Amino acid sequence: MCRIFGYLGYDFVDAKRLKAVSDLQFKGGPDQQSVLSERNWAIGNNRLSIVGLDGGEQPYIGGEHIRIVFNGEIYNHHALRKKLELKGYSFADTCDGSILPALYAEYGTEFVRYLDGMFAIAIIDLRETVTLTLVTDPSGMKSLYYYWDELKQSLYFSSELPSLLAFERIPKQLWLSGVDFYLTTKVVFGERTMFDGVYALPPASLLHARLGDRPRLQRWSTYVTSDIPTTNFEETAVHLRKQLGEEVNSLLLADVPVSTVNSGGLDSSLITALASSSTEGIHSFNLSYVGDWPLDEKAYAREVAQCFGTTHHEVLMDPRNFQQLLPSVVAHLGQPNADPITLSSYALFEAIHQAGFKVTISGDGADEMFGGYDRFAEAVHTLGDWVKPYIGSLGVADAQQRWELYSDDYRSFVQENGSIEDHIEHSLRQSNRGRLDTILSFEREYRLPSYHLRRVDHLSMAHSVEVRVPYCQPRILDLANRLPDSWRVEGGRVKKLLYRTSESLLPASILTRKKQPFTLPIDAMMRKGLPLFAAIEQALDRETIRRQNVFDPTAIDKLLQRQASAPNGKTALTLWSLAIFQLWLDQFQVSISSSKQYQFEG
């Protein structure tokens, strides 16, 4: 696992500036920093040593022409290495990334189709005109951001947004349409970010840039697929357990200890069970809060730990310290994410690091793969129009409340350019697939990478912890794409196949309990007189909001008064989201422009 960065173009970025870019993602790779720079280009990495501890020095060199930096893990590197050795290639070490130059030399950009893992890769090819190629994995588990400067004919990239901004070539300017996007979906997703002109490379993408030419984006498909048939429900459930076991086994391979995250829900409990069945001495981690709060799942996590004999760590987080963590969380995410679980994730990964672990395995992505959210069932069983209610379930506030929160000028902007809700609605209605397939495809392509996987990636690497995600591996993704609707959602039941797969393995209490959201109970914690309410109130400074002219300060005052007198979850989440946005603007010194650009990259 590493962090990567670099540029290609007619700009000149000196060694001091490249060091600043690297330093801003040092915690994501504290074991080694390196950079290779020549005229018109540079690539660098920060390494977190996990596989092949004595080797793996980057950039990887392939003869006179190929230079590669790599972030992630390649789980089938042993098999690929053997194939390449038969073709005459040799390798200096056993690190997974060391196969990449030979694989690229043999197959060109098709090399990525052979990889089983999570990754973001940058390749400099010096043959003829120098080219830069950026690649992401099929689920978007590893983030990669980029900015194209038309004037300098230069492309800049990095694993993290703060690091990318350290090139000092990227304007810190708000993508104005992102405000409506953020409140509609809790995060800007797709290719856009909240910084105008800064893009995130989507899952299964390849960005190709030749010196002097505009970069072009293309999508790729993997050769790593599942051979599990989907004709018989019971047989598929048996095969799925075996496949998940194999995925977990692959993810347990490392030259450092590996742990699991165990929230107490089905998804992480199954991963903990499979890991414990494969390897002795597994440590599991659960996070809860000091005091008596709703949605506390630690009793379930404790039961799973006892059942499978893990060394269990109960991480207690004190709500009185939340406001102290907010600036760090906002800084590491790089752009607003309205899910309060970001605080919990940050604290959990810090505890995993302090316990001596560089790697943990999580249950993220199972809901998107197997149909696990209540909003899926509601959309499937809704009579009549399902699109608007489904979009409404994604957001911070409904359309009416968003409209009330916006300033007069921002309302005019949205009227002129169209709302993001309209754009998403158009995209969903254009689909010729079934209702559930349309929703799951949309969530896997857009929401999962942006809302979940980037959060996990950035907040774990803030503590030098790599999170491996078995449910997002390409074979599981391939199988999930082929499942009949009734195996996912039926009669109000969600994740039907995964529940069947887990039977006879997990305790009955895990299989029969009602699904809970893995989130922070901010409606209970954001009460008048508690520290979190005071922190939110301070962040939502009336004069600052008036001056920015995006939101109506009077409308926000009313929300604060409502939460103080009659607290509820929706009001609390709206206030939280607005405060996170304000903290981000302030922390990154973002300017608010009058840009009219509005495009949903769907």
Residues that are catalytic = 2
Encode 406-475 in three state secondary structure. ECHHHHHHHHHHCCHHHHHHHHHHCCCCCHHHHHHHHHHHHHHHHHHHHHHHHHHHCCCCEEECHHHCHH
Q: How many CB atoms lie within 10 A of CB 434?
A: 12
Find out whether 602 is annotated in a ligand binding site: no
Residue 250 pairs in a beta bridge with: none
363 labeled binding residue:
yes
Q: Are strands 205-210 and 216-219 parallel, antiparallel or unpaired?
A: antiparallel
Token couple for 197: 């002109």
CB 390 within 8 A of CB 569: no
96 is in an annotated binding site: yes
- Signed CA dihedral, 359, 360, 363, 364: sign only: negative
The rounded distance, in Å, linking the Cα atoms of 78 and 497 is 32
Where does residue 543 rank: exposed (0-12), middle (13-18), buried (19+ CB within 10 A)? exposed
Residues 6+ apart with CB under 8 A from 128: none
296 is in an annotated binding site: no
**403, 509 in Cβ contact below 8 A?**
no
Nearest Cα residue to 208 out of 106, 129, 142, 143: 129
Asked if 573 contacts 324 with a C-beta cutoff of 8 angstroms, the reply is: no
Helix (H) or strand (E) holding 38: strand 32-38
Q: Please give the annotated binding residues for L-glutamine, written as ranges.
A: 96
Q: Please give the annotated binding residues for ATP, written as ranges.
A: 290, 362-363
Q: Please give the annotated binding residues, written as ranges.
A: 96, 290, 362-363
